[in-house]
A and B are shown apart, each in its own frame.
Chain A
Amino acid sequence: MARKPGTKTQAKRSATGRPAAKKPAAGKPAAKKPAAGKPAAKKPAARKPAAKKPAARKPAGGKTGRLKSVAGKAASRFSILVCIDGSEASYRALRYAVRIGSGTDADLTLLYVRPIDQGMRTGGLQISVVRENLLDWGLELPGMRSLKKGRELLAEIGWLDKDWEAEFAHADVTGDPLGDNAIVYSSPGGRSVVLRLLVAPSVAYGILDECELGQFDLVVAAASANEEEAGPGFISSEVAARIAREHSGTVLVTRELEESHGHLVCISPLGGGSLRGAQKDAEIASRCACPVYLLSVAKTKAGVKGAEKAVAAARVAIEKVGVRPSGEKVLVGDPVSTIVEEGKGYSVIVLSRYRRRTGWRQIFSNSIAFKVLARADNSVMITR
C-alpha cells in the first residue's frame, strides 16, 4: 500500500505515563487505523506536519549547502544521540550516555535504524506485504523490541519517570508499512527522551542522516563485536567507524566501555584544533564528573618541548570551562601506537579531527584520529 509521504504528530498525556509510553511500540504505530493499543490516535495533529516545512525539504546543491539548510542547533540544551541495535554493547553505551546527560538541560535520543527491505530478495513479493501481515497479527518489529528495552533500562536507572508526558510522531515512507516513528517523553522539568525508529537504505546512512539533521552535541555508537546479540539494525565496527569519519560533529565510539577510568585527551604537539577538542571533551567530561587526563606524543625527542607547550595550552583551555586536568603526560614515539597503548587504561581516548573523510578520500586519509579509532580496543571519541 503506497502512501504519500507525510508526517503526523499526536500527543496524549497518560495518567500513569506507562500505557501511553508502552503501546505505541507494541503495535502498528501509524495513526491510520485507530484501535486499542494505538497511541493517541484519535487526537488530531497538534502541529502543522513537519514535512511541509521548507527548511527540512529544501534540496541544496552540495553537502555543505545541505548542512547549511539544516536549521541552527539548539543554543542551550545538551543533546545526545545513542545508536541502539539491540546488543548489550549498545545498552552499555546508553548507560554511559545517561551519565553524560545527567542534568536538567539534556535530551536523549535513542535511535534504531531499520534497513529498507530488499523487495528484490524476496522473489518479487514486496516485504511490506509480510510486514503488514505481521502488524495485522499484532506482532512487534525488531527495532521496536530493542527500543522498548532501552526505554525499560532508562526507567530502571531512574532517568525516565512514570509521570512523563508521551507524544507520538510518525512520517509515512512510501512502500514501507511502518515508516518513520518517534515517541517523545517529556519530563515536567523540560528534559526529554526520544525513541526513534527509522527506515533507511542502510544502517550507516540512517544514523548519519539523523546526526546531520539533529545536530546533536554528542553521538554515541557502540561498535558491537558480536552480531549474535544484535538485530537487523546491527552496528558493526565498520558502521561505527564510518559514522565517526563522516559525521561533522562529535562522535563517541564505545567498545567494552568501563565508565570510571576517565578521559585521555590527546593533544597534538602543534596545538590548533586539538585544543578546542580538549575544551569540548572537558565540557562533556564535566557533565559526568569524569576525570580528564592530557597526553601529547612527540615523534622525536626534539619535539618534546612543543608537546609540553601544547599540553600547557590545553590545560589553560580546559580550565577556562571549569575543569582541572587530573594528570598530564608527554611521551615520545609513534603517535598512533603510543596513544593506543597508553589509552588502554582509560575509559575513553579523545582525539580531535576537523575534517570528516568521506568516500574515496578515506583511502588517502593519514589522520591519527582515525588510525587510533581503527586500532584501539577501547572507546574512542572524535571531537569536532
Chain B
Amino acid sequence: MHPTVRARLDRSLGHAAQRRRAPVVRGFGSFLWEKKWFFIALAVGALLMHLPPPEGLDQRGLIVLSMSVVAIILFVMEPVPLPTVALMIVLGQVVLLGIDSSSVARSLMSDSVLFIMGSLMLAVAIVKQKLDKRIAYWIVQVTGTKTANVCIGISVVSGVLASFIGEHTVAAMMLPVAITLISLTSEDVKKVRGLAAVLLFSISYGCSIAGIGTPSGGARNAIMIGYWKEFFYDPTNPETAKYIIDYLTWMLYCYPIFLIQLPFVTLILLYTFKPERKDISRAVVKLRKQIRADGPMKSADWVSIATFTCVLIGWLGFSDTLGLGTVAIFGAVAFLVIGLVRWEDVNSGVNWGVVLLYAAAISLGVQMKDSGAALWVANSFLNFLEPLGVDGGLPLWTAISVLTTGVTNTMSNGAAVAVLGPITLKMAIASGESPILIGFITAISSAFAYLTVIGTPACTIVYASGYLKTTDFLVVGYRMVIMSTILLIISASLYWPLIGV
C-alpha cells in the first residue's frame, strides 16, 4: 500500500470511535442548526407555560400539558437522543411541578416497565439460541416451494411467534431466512424486487398484526394494562376488578382480530408487489441443504424451548397475581441461570434507554391524569369532534383509531400509547363509552404503523436489510391501514359485545 494511502486510511480508521459522537466538521453554528428542534421545543414549552390557563385547566395542568407538547416534539423530531427526553421528563416533574424526587423516582417503576425490561432481555436470549434455522426448515417443509405459500408460511409463523415473544424478537430471527431466500433466488436485487418486498413485508406485517394478540406482544399492551389499573381500579370497590385485564382476557379480545387479518396480509402483499417468481424451488432446496448441515436439534435448543414454554405458562396462568413483568423477569433469570445466554450479550443487546423512555412516558401519562390535563384535552377533542357528529359510538371509535394511527406512524407505538392512553381513556369517560373498549382500540390502533420505516420495530428491522425503500412502506402501508381499521371497527361492533364489553 502506498504510504500516502495508508496514512489517509489510518487517519480515517483512527477516527472511527469518535465518529459516533461528533463529526469533524462542527462549530457552534452547526451545533445550533442541528439542535434547532430542541430549542424550538423548549421555546414552545416556555411560551405555553406562560399563557393564562384555559378554562377547565389549572396552572399545574398547563405545565404538564406543556411538558407533553415538548416531549412530543422531541419524540418526533429527535434532535437529541430519545432517552434524554425521558430524563427531561424526570427533571420537569421535580423542577416545574415541584414533586418530591423520591416520588418521581417511584413513579418510574411499575409492572409495565418490569415487563418491558424482562421481555427485552428474553428477546436477546431467544435470538441468541439460533432457533431461526430450525423454524426456517420447518416453514419450507410445510409450505413447499410456491412463493405465495412461502409468504403465507412466513406470515403465519412470524405472527404466531410474535404474538407471544414480541415482534422485534421474531423479526430479528426471521430476517436472515427471508434474505437467504432472496439472495439464493438472484444476486441481482433488481430482478427480485417484488419477491424481496413480499417476503420481507410478510415478516414485518405478520409481526405487526400479531403484536396485538397477547399482552406480551408489545410494550404498548403492557402500558395500556397498566393505565387501566392505575386509572380505574380501586381495591375497595369490587366492581372495578374488571379493569384488571389478565393475559387470557386480553387474548380473548384481541387474538381473533390478529387471526382474521392474516390472510389479508398475504393477499395485499401479493397484489401490491407481484413477485417476479411464482416458484422459488431453487432457493428453497439450497436453503434446506444449508440448514440440514447444522444437524439435528441439540439439547440446548430443547432446554431453551422448555424455558420459554414455562414463561408462557407463567403469563397465561399467573399474570393476574404475579404480574406480566414478574413472569418476564423470571424468564430472563432462568435463561441466565441455565447459562443459555451471557449477561454481556443481554447487556449489549438491550437498548436500556427504551426502558427509561417508557418509564418516563408512563410517569408523564399518570401526571396528565392527576393534573386534569388529560381530561381537558379529551374534552377539547370531543368538543372539536361534536359539530362533525362524532360524539360517541362507532364514529368516535373510528376517530380514536385514526388519531392513534396518525400518532403511531410518527413515533414508537409504545410511546404513542403512553402519550395518548390517558387522553383516550378520559375521552371514554367524558363520552360515556367503555374505557376498556376505547383502551383496546387505542392499543390495537397503535400497531397500525405500517406507513413508515420507524413505525414498528419489525418494520425498522426489515428495512435494515437494504432491500426495501421507504416508499414501499407507503405503497403497501395505506392498504394495510384501511384493512386493519375496518376489521378492528367490525370486531369492536360485532365481536366484543358478544364477550361482554
Contacts and interface: CB of A to CB of B under 8 A. Distances in A.
A155 to B, nearest CB: 16
B123 interface: yes
A124 B355 contact: yes
Interface string B109-134: 00000001000100110011010100
Contact of B466 (A7, A109, A232, A360): A232
A145 B25 contact: no
Interface string B466-500: 10011100000000000000000000000000000
A281 interface: no
Interface in A161-218: 165, 167, 169-175, 179-180, 182, 184, 186, 190, 192, 194, 196, 198-201, 205-206, 208-210, 212-215
Interface stretch (B164-172, B311-319, B376-384): B164-172
B8 interface: yes
A182 B13 contact: yes
B8 A167 contact: no
A209 B19 contact: yes
Interface stretch (B26-34, B51-59, B321-329): B26-34
B269 to A, nearest CB: 18
B297 interface: no
Interface core residue of B17, B130, B190 (most chain A CB under 10 Å): B17
A131 B127 CA distance: 11
A359 interface: yes
Interface string A302-333: 00000000000000000000000000000000
Interface core residue of B132, B347, B348 (most chain A CB under 10 Å): B348
B61 interface: no
Given A172-B16, A201-B20, A212-B24, A121 B454 contact: yes
A263 B175 CA distance: 47
A190 B5 CA distance: 10
A186 B1 contact: yes
B6 A47 contact: yes
A285 interface: no
Interface stretch (A30-38, A90-98, A133-141): A133-141
A50 B13 contact: yes
A21 B14 CA distance: 23
A174 B17 contact: yes
B470 A124 contact: no
Interface core residue of B11, B26, B180, B354 (most chain A CB under 10 Å): B11
Contacts of B10: 7, 47, 50, 53, 56
Nearest to B13: A171
Interface stretch (A69-77, A293-301, A341-349, A368-376): A69-77
Interface stretch (A111-119, A254-262, A266-274): A111-119
B92 interface: no
B464 interface: yes
Contacts of A352: none
Interface in A198-243: 198-201, 205-206, 208-210, 212-215, 227-229, 231-232
Interface core residue of A70, A133, A167 (most chain B CB under 10 Å): A133
A145 B192 CA distance: 15
Q: Is the interface of B mostly helix, strand, loop or mixed?
A: helix
A63 B29 CA distance: 11
B469 A228 contact: yes
Range of interface residues on B (Cβ < 8 Å) = 35 or more
Contacts of A86: 466
Nearest to B119: A124
A120 interface: yes
Given A70-B11, A139-B176, A184-B5, A122 B460 contact: yes
A130 interface: yes
B168 A125 contact: yes
A62 interface: yes
B108 interface: no
Interface core residue of A109, A126, A141, A215 (most chain B CB under 10 Å): A126
Given A174-B17, A180-B16, A201-B19, A213 B1 contact: no
A13 to B, nearest CB: 12
Given A116-B20, A129-B124, A133-B127, A50 B1 contact: no
Given A1-B345, A182-B13, A123 B5 contact: no
A57 interface: yes
Contacts of A122: 168, 351, 457, 460-461
B19 A125 contact: no
B25 A209 contact: yes
A142 interface: yes
Given A120-B357, A123-B168, A50 B31 contact: no
A111 to B, nearest CB: 9
Contacts of A118: 454, 460
B4 interface: yes
A174 B130 CA distance: 23
A173 B19 contact: yes
Nearest to B173: A133
A359 B180 CA distance: 43
Contacts of A179: 16
B19 A192 contact: no
Contacts of B79: none
B12 interface: yes
B335 interface: no
A109 to B, nearest CB: 8
B461 to A, nearest CB: 5
Nearest to B5: A192
A128 interface: yes
Interface core residue of B13, B31, B351, B352 (most chain A CB under 10 Å): B13
A212 B17 CA distance: 16
Contact of A126 (B8, B219, B350, B466): B350
A121 to B, nearest CB: 4
A129 B127 contact: yes
Nearest to A248: B25
B461 A77 contact: no
Given A126-B348, A129-B127, A130-B464, A213 B176 contact: no
A51 interface: yes
Contact of B350 (A56, A125, A232): A125
Interface of A: 1-2, 5, 7, 11, 47, 49-53, 55-57, 62-63, 66-67, 70-71, 74, 77, 79, 86, 107, 109, 116-131, 133-134, 136-137, 139-143, 145, 165, 167, 169-175, 179-180, 182, 184, 186, 190, 192, 194, 196, 198-201, 205-206, 208-210, 212-215, 227-229, 231-232, 246-247, 358-362
29 contacts: A5-B17, A51-B16, A56-B14, A63-B25, A74-B4, A74-B8, A77-B5, A118-B454, A120-B353, A121-B412, A122-B168, A124-B457, A125-B127, A128-B348, A130-B172, A130-B175, A133-B176, A139-B183, A143-B466, A174-B20, A175-B348, A198-B19, A201-B19, A201-B20, A201-B23, A214-B11, A228-B471, A231-B466, A360-B29
Q: Which 4 interchain pairs have the tightest Cβ spacing?
A: A142-B466, A50-B10, A56-B14, A5-B17
Given A128-B349, A227-B469, 19 more contacts: A1-B348, A2-B348, A7-B10, A50-B13, A62-B27, A63-B24, A122-B351, A123-B414, A125-B457, A129-B128, A137-B180, A172-B16, A180-B13, A182-B12, A209-B19, A227-B471, A358-B30, A359-B29, A361-B29
